[in-house]
Chain A
């Protein structure tokens, strides 16, 4: 389980910070582990952080991830970030 608030505080910001978390998640998923991301204690997320962490997760990795503890608001952010990088929505794809 990755409890984001414990590691990075109640406000998640910074694209480079998010890269490190995403790489950790991807590594765990590649090892066949189901990854639980605990959003309890998270009060705000910056758009860049959300995009980097949720938006850039490969589809195969996404299936290994479970969220818990987040408010509907945080889940909304995760969805939004993920969707805006869906291949069908990406003007660069």
Chain B
């Protein structure tokens, strides 16, 4: 006779916005620390809203548990009572991504919604780029038919998605989602991984190991240009470029890793939280009424790099004056 598996119930209720993610982290803590299979009951019956960051984080958590075989037979997800929330979870492909190997039927007709993108799971670089391209298109739909905006977002999101690929050191990859918020004229894009986190990643580089005194210090270090855990392979431009792009847009860049929390842009916030996120969450709140301009972001990035490394010069040849 097999031994009875231990049980664990986690209840998520009410709304989960980007700015109330602390509550979600508190409620997910028991799942983060699971080390042996449990019969897990995830009660979503009281759920009324989940923004992209909350959705991606919850999905990443359950997906990892499932991949690690920690969800014992009998584990169950109780659907939200709210029909709208129930439909939204399907619409965002929550179950389809969680049960990637199963066929999940939509219970309702799927309508195209501009700016909204289903949850994405990516593990390879191709999948990173596809997710970035898809999320960028979502943003473009809500902003303007402007190639610059779409291209800038694609560039920025490809960097963030690739950070998961190169730095998170997790076989479970990353998760992403996007949704527009009409009232605040913003679109939220979130990318989450449950990898080693920024502090552990950055500590690999002896140059920054001393600076990384805690999770917040690690995040603040990581968003500086040229800072990378692996200088031989990577450049440390991605997060810095994203920060400059958001500065121009007057949007917000939010980075959570471990207990660290940093919000750059309008209303800068930094703090150490009580409940750690075992990995990294990067969320962008982009203003849909402001431009995204990668040319200006590159200009700011170049100036910042010049401040660190000195004036730029090179030995390339060019075949015409324009290229020089």
Which residues from chain A sit less than 8 Å from chain B, CB to CB? 10-11, 13-17, 36, 39, 43-48, 50-51, 54-55, 59, 62-63, 65-85, 89-92
Interchain CB contact (< 8 A) of B314 among A45, A50, A83: A83
Q: Are B302 and A76 in contact (CB under 8 A)?
A: yes
Chain B interface mostly helix, strand, loop or mixed? helix
Sample (10) of A-B pairs whose CB atoms are under 8 Å apart: A14-B125, A39-B323, A47-B159, A50-B237, A51-B237, A67-B319, A70-B318, A74-B323, A82-B315, A92-B207
- CB nearest to B129 among chain A residues: A14
Given the complex of chains A and B, what is the CA–CA distance between A13 and B152 in angstroms? 11
Cβ-based interface call for B151 (8 A): yes
Question: Cα distance A77–B235 when bound, in Å?
Answer: 13
| B132 engages A83 (CB within 8 Å) | no
CA distance A57 to B186 in the complex (A): 40
Q: Are A62 and B315 in contact (CB under 8 A)?
A: yes
Assess the B231–A92 pair: CB atoms within 8 A.
yes
| B276-311 interface code vs A (CB 8 A; 1 in, 0 out) | 000000000000000000110011011001000110
Contact B162 A48 (CB under 8 A): yes
B298: chain A residues at CB < 8 Å are: 73, 76-77, 80
Query: A81 to B302, alpha carbons, bound, how many Å?
Result: 9
Chain A nearest CB from B232 CB (Å) reads: 7
In the complex, which of the residues B129, B237, B323 has the most CB atoms of chain A within 10 Å of its own CB atom? Answer: B323
Q: Does B172 count as interface, using CB distance less than 8 angstroms?
A: no
Asked if B235 contacts A48 (CB within 8 A), the reply is: yes
- Taking CB atoms and an 8 Å cut-off, the chain B residues in 167-193 that contact chain A are none
Contact of A55 among B147, B152, B235 (CB under 8 A): B235
Establish whether residues B154 and A11, one from each chain, have CB atoms under 8 Å apart when the complex forms: yes
7 cross-chain pairs, A with B, having the tightest CB-CB distances, nearest first: A47-B237, A51-B235, A13-B158, A44-B151, A68-B319, A83-B312, A16-B125
B125 touches A81 (CB 8 A): no
